[in-house]
């Protein structure tokens, strides 16, 4: 099939929290390439990924050490189906875990090496969360600067609570020690936050409580083969398009303890001419965030057989229209 590309088209990859029981089942039934990816993953992981993803239980699928490879395999397999259907993105980005899928889509990282890294990342992050328990909470209704100021006020120089995800205007996730996150919530409500919602996660991701995981991931990432990307990847930490393999490596190392600058990343995509994107993988979180960040970016679903068929058809119509 002839590959179609457009300067204004991107792949966006979701992160942890997008998982649902049943994800990937229809793709697995429909496409041989997807079956092959799951078989390769199960062989490497020694884990019945298909059983957990397709049938649950959700409690097991939601364990960080399982969620991360599960979302990664689904996302990369879906991206390969899109490519086989002729969709060739000009740029890619991924939210936290999704950055690994983006690097695979950009040709900077092999599927197998990415899976090995993601599996270790999930295991180490879960372990760090168990050893140093913390919390994450979504803050709705405050500006980024207000959240940063409150974190500095409550968390002090030790960074007991920090911004973890700048997801969209008026939506920031904070992360850190449980008492500090609770105190931040009280202060945020007094400052006018509409809601502060504690997230059901296994650790204080993108905070200093992930430093043990970052220390152990660093040598693994140093040893990994990360090539120059064929297309730019807008990274979480810099929120700028990057193709250099060594810079991509450094961004992955920094990412575990630094905030995900998703609002800035989406705006960076749009500034390069991106006007259309596919959310490649489970869920619809990124589509919802994109609507709040920049209405000029249209994000189409690409996590199921029907999604991919519809998105492919829309892309072809736009490409020829």
Determine contact, residues 259/163, Cβ cutoff 8 Å: yes
Residue 297 vs residues 66, 149, 189, 283, 291: alpha-carbon distances, Å: 31, 30, 31, 18, 8
Q: Is 96 considered catalytic here?
A: yes
202-239 residue pLDDT tens:
899 999 999 999 999 999 999 999 999 999 999 999 99
Look up 206 and say whether it is catalytic. yes
Write phi, then psi, for 27 (nearest 5 degrees). Answer: -65, -40
Q: Is the dihedral of CA 108, 112, 113, 119 positive or negative?
A: positive
Is it true that the peptide bond before 165 is cis, omega within 30 degrees of 0?
A: no
Q: Which pTM value belongs to this model?
A: 0.95
Q: State the residue for tokens 């875990």.
A: 97
Instruction: Indicate which residue of 18, 62, 96, 101 is catalytic.
Output: 96
Q: Which of 74, 95, 206, 265 is labelled catalytic?
A: 206
Angle at 92 between CA 90 and CA 97, to 5 degrees: 170
User: How many Å apart are CA 73 and CA 63, to the nearest integer?
Assistant: 16
pLDDT in tens, 63-109: 999 999 999 999 999 999 999 999 999 999 999 999 999 999 999 99
> Domains in the chain, start-ordered, CATH in brackets?
4-130+209-320 (3.40.366.10), 134-202 (3.30.70.250)
Place of tokens 């990664």: 72
């Amino acid at each position: 099939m002839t590959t179609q590309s457009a300067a204004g088209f991107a792949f966006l990859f979701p992160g942890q929290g997008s998982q649902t029981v049943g994800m990937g089942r229809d793709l697995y039934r429909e496409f041989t390439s997807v079956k092959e990816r799951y078989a390769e993953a199960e062989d490497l992981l020694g884990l019945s990924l298909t059983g957990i993803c397709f049938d649950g239980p959700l409690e097991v699928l939601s364990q960080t050490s399982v969620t991360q490879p599960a979302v990664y395999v689904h996302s990369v397999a879906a991206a390969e189906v899109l490519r086989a259907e002729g969709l060739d993105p000009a740029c890619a980005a991924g939210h936290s875990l999704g950055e690994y899928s983006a690097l695979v889509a950009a040709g900077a990282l092999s599927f197998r090496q990415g899976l090995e890294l993601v599996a270790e990342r999930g295991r180490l992050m879960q372990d760090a969360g168990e050893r140093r328990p913390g919390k994450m909470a979504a803050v709705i209704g405050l500006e980024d600067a207000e959240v940063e100021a409150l974190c500095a006020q409550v968390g002090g120089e030790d960074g007991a609570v920090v911004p973890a995800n700048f997801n969209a205007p008026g939506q920031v996730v904070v992360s850190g020690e449980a008492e500090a996150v609770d105190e931040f919530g009280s202060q945020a409500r007094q400052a006018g936050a509409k809601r502060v919602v504690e997230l059901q996660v296994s650790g204080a991701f993108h905070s200093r409580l992930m430093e043990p995981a970052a220390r152990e991931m660093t040598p693994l990432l140093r040893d990994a083969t990360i090539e120059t990307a064929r297309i730019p990847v807008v990274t979480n930490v810099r929120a700028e398009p990057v193709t250099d393999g060594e810079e991509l490596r450094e961004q992955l190392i920094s990412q575990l303890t630094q905030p995900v600058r998703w609002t800035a990343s989406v705006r960076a995509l749009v500034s390069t001419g991106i006007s259309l994107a596919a959310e490649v993988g489970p869920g619809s979180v990124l589509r919802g965030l994109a609507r709040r960040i920049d209405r000029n970016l249209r994000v189409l679903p690409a996590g199921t057989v029907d999604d991919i068929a519809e998105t492919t058809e829309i892309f072809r119509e736009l490409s020829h229209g």
